[in-house]
Amino acid sequence: MNKVIKCFNRKEKGIVVLSLFLTALVFVLVACGGSVDPASLKGGETRQTLAPQYFTGSTAKAYVAAREIPEVLDSLHCYCECKKHHGHKSLLTCFVTTHGRNCSICIDEAVMANKLHKKGYDVVAIRKAVDKAFKKYAR
C-alpha cells in the first residue's frame, strides 16, 4: 500500500484517506440501521403514580394510562415543558403528582400513548407519533 500512496502527492493522499474514512463511516451507519434502543428513552421516574379513581373523565383516563403503561409514559417528552419549569423527568412524572390533572397537554399525550399501545405500537413508534402530534406545543 505504501508504494501506491507514494504515487500520490500530499493533497491526493488526503483525498484517498478521507474517502476511505467516509466509506467506513457510511458502512457503520448503515450497519447500525439507525435503530433506537427503547431503554435509552427512559426518563428515570420511579415513583408510583396517583390512583385514577380520584379523577374523572379524560383526566382519569390519563392516570389509568400512567398506571397501565408507566414504561411508555416514562419514555415520552412532556410538551407542556414541565421538565424545564417543574423539574419533571418525563411525561410519567406529571402523573405522580397532581400536575397531570390540570394540564390538557399531559392528559392528551397520555391518552394518545395508551391508545397507540393498545393498538400494538412499540415505545419507539409511540414516541414518534406523540412527538409529531405535540411538537407544536414545544417552547
Whether 119 shows a pLDDT value over 70: the answer reads yes
Cα gap 27→56, rounded to integer Å = 53
Question: Using one digit for the tens of pLDDT, what is the confidence trace for 34-46?
Answer: 454 454 456 567 7
CB 74 within 8 A of CB 43: yes
pLDDT score for 32: 46
pLDDT score for 57: 97
Place of cell 414518534: 128
Angstrom distances, CA of residue 57 to CA of 8, 96, 133: 74, 18, 21
> What is the chain's Cα-based Rg?
23
pLDDT score for 29: 40
Lowest mean pLDDT among 64-73, 81-90, 121-130: 81-90
CB 124 within 8 A of CB 38: yes
Which cell goes with 12? 491526493
Cα gap 6→3, rounded to integer Å = 5
Question: Using one digit for the tens of pLDDT, what is the confidence trace for 27-85?
Answer: 444 444 445 445 445 656 778 888 999 999 999 999 999 999 999 999 998 887 665 66
